[in-house]
Amino acid sequence: MKNSLLKTDEIGVFALGGLGEVGKNLYVLEISNQIFLLDCGIMFPDAHLLGIDYVLPDFTYLEENKERIVGLFITHGHEDHIGGIPYLLRKVNIPKIYASGFAVSLIKAKLGEFTDIKMPKIENYESHSKYYFKDVEVSFVRLNHSIPDMHGIAFKTPLGYIFHTGDFKIDLTPVGPGAEYHKLTKMGEEGMLLVLSDSTNAERDETIQSERAIGESINDLFYNIKGRIIIATFASNIYRMQQIIDASILSNRQVAVIGRSMENAIEIGLQSGYIKAPKDIFVKPEDINRIPPERLTILSTGSQGEPLAALSRIAAGSHRFIKAIPGDTVIFSSSPIPGNQEPINRTINALFRIGADVITHGPLADTHTSGHGNQFDLKLLLSLTKPKFFIPVHGEHRMLKFHRDLAISVGVDPQNILIMDNGDVAAVSKDKIRLAGRVQADDVYVDGTGIGDISNNIIRERKMLSDDGMFAVIITVDNQNRKIIGDPTIISRGFIYMKGNEALTDALANDTKEFVTNVFNNKNLISESEFKTKLSDYLTDKIYDITQRKPMIIPVIRNFNTTDL
């Protein structure tokens, strides 16, 4: 089957995730009727998706066109780029996954947790590797990010190069190997058809520190702190964890690792050689009380104030092994992800209350830097690669817009830039880029073991329940004689506390009784569902008048013999 949206010789480019959001990146290239997949991530839901564990890309299009998929190419091992792989493999067979170094270790560890999935073929590419398909040569460009082995991926096509940057920043003094900027220039000279580039920090024009500078700043901090150090960072930032281990060695401290995701990351890092540390540097959490405070670093999850993470539990005094004490210094080696400031503040306040000192990233202490390039970096990448066409990716709509302006400022023709949503299909030819149509690209929610069985309606109901609670009214009717039997029973949860509000519930019970009697007195017959809707609407208005709240109303009608009242 062909993609009917594309003309012969046109290349199709679209996203099933990653546009209009930071997360669940999955980009699709269709070249000479072959489907190339780029990354397959998950997204962590924000607070309005109540009870949802993850959000996945919609794989429907890939299921419908699975015979044309030639491979999945992974830029790097962050969850928003690899987290969706097990779920994708359950739906479609991927001939081969191409990933590099540390990403391979992380993918294998992840797939090991899904016993129902057969391990796919994984090709461990290096930055000089090349793979050949019909009309396409795939090659790689090492770039710098907050995790080892991040590569941009280039597709050499009959129309020119298509280059997907992955997540990157320009870091001239990186931790780990340097970036291959010369390859970018070379592709630019040979003819760059299209660039898809990381938009995460397209709004930021301030300098983004080199990873190495943060290492030095952490060394200074550790040197000057006398008591115990509790330091929280992202479990995805392998370089930072290494720097914290190095600073601990320099300041003669042992390291306790707390929190499951951090323990996993350290484990995989040590096994694959991406984290280097002498074995005896680590101390088990249950043994930390044997170590003098000035000889101990506690490396912890919870830098975003996540309520169940180790640091939040330490701050709340509910951690199994670790109690914060006066004299402790807690360092946030992270910056708040937008929306997380409030839980972080709660954690910081709790720590201060205990008598701990708290250091966050700011003008006084460089404890964190972003893994994503600022405006300068993004403009430099576009200037080196000189693309004819440009699609900003990996970002919320606002970030994509900012990135578009940056591209225009370095000379990309505004008509050659497309800002797209997930599912929008761009058709690219030698001298034109056009929106050709759409493919299905909804959000798919994972809730516990259920995948895709949670709809937007359920999210809306959860939202309603969490805002205003629920109000159930149970009535028994004798529909032969068209009358209500007894008084309605009212149950409320999360709306009003029943005890002490008897006057209100009595009034609502009476109103319900009156309403039902009126319906019976009316000669017109109505169906049960129509009846329930009317009763809900009636009670919604009544309750809103009295309380200004809109709980979910659940009418339950018992003792029905026929469907008509």
Return d(Cα 92, Cα 118) in angstroms, integer: 12
* Beta carbon of residue 339, minimum distance to Zn ion (angstroms, whole number): 17
User: By CB under 5 A, how many residues form the interface with Zn ion?
Assistant: 3
Interface region with Zn ion, contact rule CB under 5 A, candidates 161-169, 285-293, 477-485, 493-501? 161-169
Nearer to Zn ion, 397 or 549 (CB): 397
417 - beta bridge partners?
390
- Cα–Cα nearest to 259, from 316, 320, 218, 317: 320
**Is residue 372 among the annotated active site residues?**
yes
Return d(Cα 254, Cα 264) in angstroms, integer: 18
Structure tokens given for 206: 């301030």
Nearer to Zn ion, 82 or 136 (CB): 82
* Beta carbon of residue 54, minimum distance to Zn ion (angstroms, whole number): 15
Beta pairing, strands 483-493 & 470-478: antiparallel
Nearer to Zn ion, 140 or 515 (CB): 140
Residue 58 is a binding residue for Zn ion (CB under 5 A): no
Give the footprint of Zn ion on residues 251-270 (CB under 5 A).
none
Interface region with Zn ion, contact rule CB under 5 A, candidates 49-57, 80-88, 338-346, 383-391? 80-88
Return d(Cα 283, Cα 288) in angstroms, integer: 7
Nearer to Zn ion, 83 or 259 (CB): 83
Considering the candidates 78, 81, 145, 372, report the single residue annotated as catalytic.
372
Nearer to Zn ion, 74 or 356 (CB): 74
* Beta carbon of residue 11, minimum distance to Zn ion (angstroms, whole number): 24
Q: Please calculate the CA angle 321-289-275 and round it to the nearest 5 degrees.
A: 75
Q: Please calculate the CA angle 241-214-212 and round it to the nearest 5 degrees.
A: 90
Strands, E assignment, 21-129: 26-31, 34-38, 54-56, 69-73, 97-99, 122-124
CA distances from residue 430 to 10, 418, 426 in whole angstroms, order as listed: 8, 16, 13
Write the interaction track for Zn ion spanning residues 375-414; mark x where CB under 5 A is met and - where it is not: ----------------------------------------
* Beta carbon of residue 393, minimum distance to Zn ion (angstroms, whole number): 10
Interface region with Zn ion, contact rule CB under 5 A, candidates 71-79, 91-99, 135-143, 491-499? 71-79
Return d(Cα 210, Cα 366) in angstroms, integer: 11
Residue 80 is a binding residue for Zn ion (CB under 5 A): yes
Interface region with Zn ion, contact rule CB under 5 A, candidates 72-80, 321-329, 409-417, 479-487? 72-80
* Beta carbon of residue 263, minimum distance to Zn ion (angstroms, whole number): 21
Helix 238-250, helix 260-272: angle, nearest 10:
80
* Beta carbon of residue 147, minimum distance to Zn ion (angstroms, whole number): 6
* Beta carbon of residue 272, minimum distance to Zn ion (angstroms, whole number): 18
Helix 102-112, helix 260-272: angle, nearest 10:
130
- Cα–Cα nearest to 229, from 349, 325, 113: 325
Nearer to Zn ion, 16 or 459 (CB): 16
Nearer to Zn ion, 151 or 319 (CB): 151
Considering the candidates 167, 171, 198, 468, report the single residue annotated as catalytic.
198
Structure tokens given for 506: 């009595």
Query: What is the full DSSP assignment across 198-223?
Result: E-TTTT--S----HHHHHHHHHHHHH
Sign of CA dihedral 450, 451, 455, 459: positive
Interface region with Zn ion, contact rule CB under 5 A, candidates 77-85, 98-106, 241-249, 395-403? 77-85
Asked whether 40 and 82 are in contact (CB, 8 A), the reply is yes
**Is residue 246 among the annotated active site residues?**
no
* Beta carbon of residue 17, minimum distance to Zn ion (angstroms, whole number): 11
Residue 167 is a binding residue for Zn ion (CB under 5 A): yes
Interface region with Zn ion, contact rule CB under 5 A, candidates 159-167, 360-368, 440-448, 474-482? 159-167
* Beta carbon of residue 185, minimum distance to Zn ion (angstroms, whole number): 24
Nearer to Zn ion, 27 or 538 (CB): 27
- Cα–Cα nearest to 122, from 132, 135, 111, 138: 111
Return d(Cα 437, Cα 417) in angstroms, integer: 16
Interface region with Zn ion, contact rule CB under 5 A, candidates 73-81, 95-103, 318-326, 398-406? 73-81
Give the footprint of Zn ion on residues 347-376 (CB under 5 A).
none
Beta pairing, strands 192-198 & 160-164: parallel
* Beta carbon of residue 71, minimum distance to Zn ion (angstroms, whole number): 20
DSSP for residue 96: -
Strands, E assignment, 57-206: 69-73, 97-99, 122-124, 130-133, 136-143, 150-157, 160-164, 192-198
Nearer to Zn ion, 18 or 343 (CB): 18
Nearer to Zn ion, 78 or 164 (CB): 78
Residues at the interface with Zn ion (CB under 5 A): 78, 80, 167
Query: Would you name the residues annotated as active-site residues?
Result: 198, 372
